[in-house]
Structure 1
């Protein structure tokens, strides 16, 4: 069950943020084995001053159109799957929305399955005892 947070500027046209969210979900389904209907996202559009980032880092220059994508998911994806995911998200957003690939920041946070509750105050994926 990935939980996705997307933070971006509110300077984009209507529907832009939704396309970003839909694209991330589509790529998660194809690249990192996320099941159908496993779409939990919080998409937040910010005033430009609320997104803090350097002008450049690791030789990559950023603009005010930066998009932060953070995915919390269960441990278990290979390095190759993660590389494929990063590239596919970037390529898809560039193609669909003509964003700069340099402005797409992706962070994966891996957790054990018992760190989720899907409701009712229960640990649905509790370790077997």
Structure 2
């Protein structure tokens, strides 16, 4: 199982390099009593706006949340945002699941695509 992600800056029409991103899992899925999101990895997008490999544990079945810090990214560019963070929640249901998430960021909007890879 794997999750790859890409952030695209639609204001300037380029990859959104340097976006801070958190990968989270539900704590109940990790054997904890409280059911909350726990951060299992933090990284930033590369020069292509991508995160190809996470350093976190091996992916298992269950829900994952990927959180893009759009506020900090656009603040670096001198712009304010309506959305502090953009969160995408996906569920990996099968051991062979590999998914790709692309988030297109603008200061006052965002959109995303999700797909499975074979």
Structures share fold, TM-score greater than 0.5: no
More strand by share: 2
Structure-2-length-normalised TM-score: 0.35
Normalising by the residue count of structure 1, what TM-score does the alignment of the two structures yield? 0.33
Higher Rg: 1
